[in-house]
Structures are given as C-alpha cells and as structure tokens.
C-alpha cells in the first residue's frame, strides 16, 4: 500500500510538471523535464500491458478522475492480473528513479 501511495504522489508531480512545462512555466524547468523524461523512458521500455496501465491510470490529465476498476475493465484484465502488472510496473519505475 505504501508503494501505491508513493507512486501516486510521483505521478501527481508528473502530471503537474507536464502541465507547467506545456504552459510555458520556466521555473525549475530542467528539474521537471528530467523527472518527466525519466518516467517516460521507463514506461516506454515496459511490456505493453504494464505501460498501458501506467499511462491510462496515472499519466493522462484525466487519470485523477479514474479508478483502478475502470482501467482493468477497459484493458480486459481481471483485478488480480491488473494489480500484479501494476505492481511490477511500480517496481520498475522505483528502481529506475
């Protein structure tokens, strides 16, 4: 559970930083761009199902309004498979950062 909370905070920062960069805010640009690039690279290198879970559930502007069940149903996964894939993806992201 602690891992999910930490990842959720990280992804909230990702979405905020992406919004600020897209909005032209130059404050701490390099720091924000580095985090965004690092997460994007890890997700790009993941197996497709893990990448889709992370993208849909955590990286899109709408992700703050989505629930896990909406994503696993959209991807045609069981809850157990979704949790396993998501946790594997979390570990890869945490290891890369």
pLDDT in tens, 72-86: 999 999 999 999 999
Taking the model in full, what pTM does it have? 0.84
pLDDT in tens, 2-42: 888 888 888 988 888 887 766 666 667 788 889 899 999 99
Of the candidates 96, 93, 89, the one whose C-alpha atom is nearest the C-alpha of residue 75 is 89
């Amino acid at each position: 559970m602690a891992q999910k909370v930490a990842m959720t905070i990280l992804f909230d920062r990702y979405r905020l930083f992406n919004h600020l960069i897209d909005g032209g805010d130059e404050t701490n640009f390099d720091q924000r761009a580095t985090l965004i690039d690092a997460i994007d690279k890890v997700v790009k290198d993941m197996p497709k199902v893990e990448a889709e879970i992370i993208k849909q559930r955590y990286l899109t502007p709408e992700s703050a309004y989505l629930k896990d069940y909406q994503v696993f149903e959209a991807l045609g996964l069981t809850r157990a498979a979704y949790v396993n894939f998501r946790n594997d993806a979390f570990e890869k992201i945490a290891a890369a950062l």
